[in-house]
Amino acid sequence: MTLLGSGIFKGMAVTFRNFVGSYFHRERLPTNDYSWRTEGSLPQHAGDYPKEEGEQLRDTTTVTNYSRNFPMLLHDGSEPMDTIRCVACQICERSCPPQCIYIEKSTEKKEDSSGKMQFYPATFDIDVSVCMSCQICVEVCPFDAIVMNSQFELSTPNRFGGLLLHQGDLLKSNDYYHKIHPEEAAARDKRIADEKTAKEAKKKAAAEAAKKKAEAKAGAETEAGDEKKEVAE
C-alpha cells in the first residue's frame, strides 16, 4: 500500500525542485530575459520601432547558419544596380508557391559584373506579407542571384506599402551575405567558382577539342572514308 496521496506529493516535489532550480540553473529557463543584458547588446528595444514611414530598423539578424526569413537580391560590387546578379529570367516568379514575387524584365541589356551583356529586372518586388519564407526561389535560381536574408525585424507603420519590398530594399551585397551566412555563402561562392572554372575548363577543352578536331579534320581529310566506315560500324 502506498502512502496516501503519494502521486501528488511526488508531483509537488518535482515542481519544488524546478522552483529552486530556476534560480540556480540558467538552462532551466526557456525564456531569455533581455533585461539582464546591457543597453548596447539588446537586439531590439521598444524605443527603436520606426516612427516614420520608410524608416528602417537597425540590423537585426540571427546567428544560425541557415536562418532564413525573407529573400534578398545579391549584387557583387559597390554600385548595386550595375552588379546585380539577377537577369530577370523569372523562374523564381513562376515557381514561387504563394506567388509573392513580381518581376518586370528590362527592355535593353546592360553589362553585369563580369562584363557580359545581360537583361536586368526593371522591377523586382516581393510582398513579404505573402511570402512564406520557403526558400524555393533560392533553390530554383540558376544565377545564385536570390538568397535568404535573416533579418527578422521588419515592422513598419505602413501595413500596405511598407511590406512590399522593392528592388532597392532587396538588394544586398555579397559581403553582407557572407556576414550573415558565412558557411553557406562560402559554399555557394566556392560552387560558383568551381562551376566557372569547370565551365572555362570545359570551354577550353571544347575549344581545344574543336581546334584539335579542326586540325584533325584538316589533317585527316584523306582518311574520311575510313572514319565514316568506323562510325557506321
Contacts to other proteins by CB under 8 A: 1, 4-8, 10-19, 21-23, 28-31, 33, 35, 64-68, 95-97, 132-136, 139-140, 148, 183-184
Nearer to other proteins, 110 or 143 (CB): 143
Q: Could you give phi then psi for residue 15, rounded to 5 degrees? A: -65, -35
Q: Could you give phi then psi for residue 11, rounded to 5 degrees? A: -60, -40
Cβ(132)–Cβ(70) below 8 Å: no
Q: Report the nearest approach of other proteins to the CB of residue 115 (Å).
A: 28
Nearer to other proteins, 84 or 103 (CB): 103
Per the DSSP assignment, residues forming a β-bridge with 103 are: 124
Q: How far apart are CA 151 and CA 169, in angstroms?
A: 12
Q: Report the nearest approach of other proteins to the CB of residue 46 (Å).
A: 11
Q: Report the nearest approach of other proteins to the CB of residue 18 (Å).
A: 6
Nearer to other proteins, 8 or 117 (CB): 8
Nearer to other proteins, 61 or 106 (CB): 61
DSSP letter, residue 65: T
Q: Report the nearest approach of other proteins to the CB of residue 182 (Å).
A: 11
Q: How far apart are CA 193 and CA 195, in angstroms?
A: 5
Q: How far apart are CA 25 and CA 33, in angstroms?
A: 14
